[in-house]
Structure formats: structure tokens, C-alpha cells
Amino acid sequence: MALFDSISISGTGLYAHRKWLDAVSDNIANINTTNAPGEDAFRARMVDVQAFNYGGEGGVRVAGAKFGSAEGRMVYEPDNADADADGYVRYPDIDLGDQMTQLMMAQRGYQANISSIKAATEAYQSALQLGKG
């Protein structure tokens, strides 16, 4: 067991939740991104996490990313520069409500890990005072 283990475990939690926040902000930033006809729509990114060494040293790791539909949704906008011959534009299939929910979950998860680090730091700091009394 490494020294100050609790802190590094919470560190993996911070990293995973930050990756999730990154993915959500990327999705929201591209919510109205359109591409030329024939190209794929912007695909929503979903971070895939796994428990690291379950029952062993612990922590969480980002196992990869999953992507949403390349089909997107077709919106009739004949004046748009990216409209196809029939006047349809391919928008990404991203739901803002869903992204905002994920944003909050990622944010709260991040905060929970921060308070976890604080609790561990307090305990370690008193342990460092052992025998000085």
C-alpha cells in the first residue's frame, strides 16, 4: 500500500469526473454544429469509466469513450449553407436537458472527491504530529 493512498484514489475520481465534464462541454459546444451534406453529424461523446483494480488498490479509470449517433437529426433549413438538395441540414442528435443533467452529476462527483481529499488530508496531518506532544 502506497503512502497517502486515499488522496491518490480520490485523485483518480477527480480525473474521471473532469474527463466527463470535458466531454459534456464539448457536446454542448457542438450542439448546433452542422456539417456539409454527406458527412456524419457531430457525435456526442460519452466517457466510459471502470473501477480500477476492483478490491485491490482501488480508484477509477477512464476506459475509453463511446460515441452517439452519426445519423444526427435532419432539420429543414433550406437557407443554411450546409443544406442538402432537399433543404435538410444534419444536426447532431444531442439533447441539452440530458447534457445538463450529466454536467451536474459530473460536477457533484468532482466535488465529492474534493471533500474526500480534505478528510484524508486532515487525518494524515494529525498522524504526522504523532509523538510530538
Partner 1 sequence: MIGDTTMSALHASLSGLAQRQRVTADNIANINTPGYLAGRVDFESALKNELADGETPVAGRSAELRSSDPTNTNGNNVNLDTETVIQTETGLRYQLALNALNGKYAQLRSALRTS
Residues of this chain that interact with partner 1 (CB under 8 A) are 1, 5-7, 9-10, 12-13, 16-17, 20, 49-51, 54-55, 58-60, 105-106, 108-109, 112-113, 115-117, 119-120, 122-123, 126-127, 129-131, 133
Q: Torsion over CA of 108, 109, 112 and 113, rounded to 10 degrees?
A: -140
Q: How far is the CB of 65 from partner 1 (least distance, A)?
A: 14
- Cβ of residue 58: shortest distance to partner 1, in angstroms? 3
Nearer Cβ to partner 1, position 33 or 121?
121
Determine which helix (DSSP H) or strand (DSSP E) holds 18, and give its type and residue range: helix 5-29
User: Among residues 32 and 53, whose Cβ is nearest to partner 1?
Assistant: 53
Is the separation of the CB atoms in 121 and 128 below 8 Å?
A: no
Nearer to partner 1, 21 or 83 (CB): 21
- Of 85, 44, 91, 89, the C-alpha closest to 72 is 91
Residues 6/120, Cβ–Cβ less than 8 Å: yes
Tell me the C-alpha to C-alpha distance, in Å, between residue 104 and each of 29, 54, 93: 16, 26, 20
- Minimum gap (Å) between residue 43 Cβ and partner 1: 20
Pick the closer one to partner 1 by CB: 85 or 127.
127
Minimum Å gap between C-beta 20 and partner 1 is 7
The DSSP bridge partners found for residue 89 are: 75
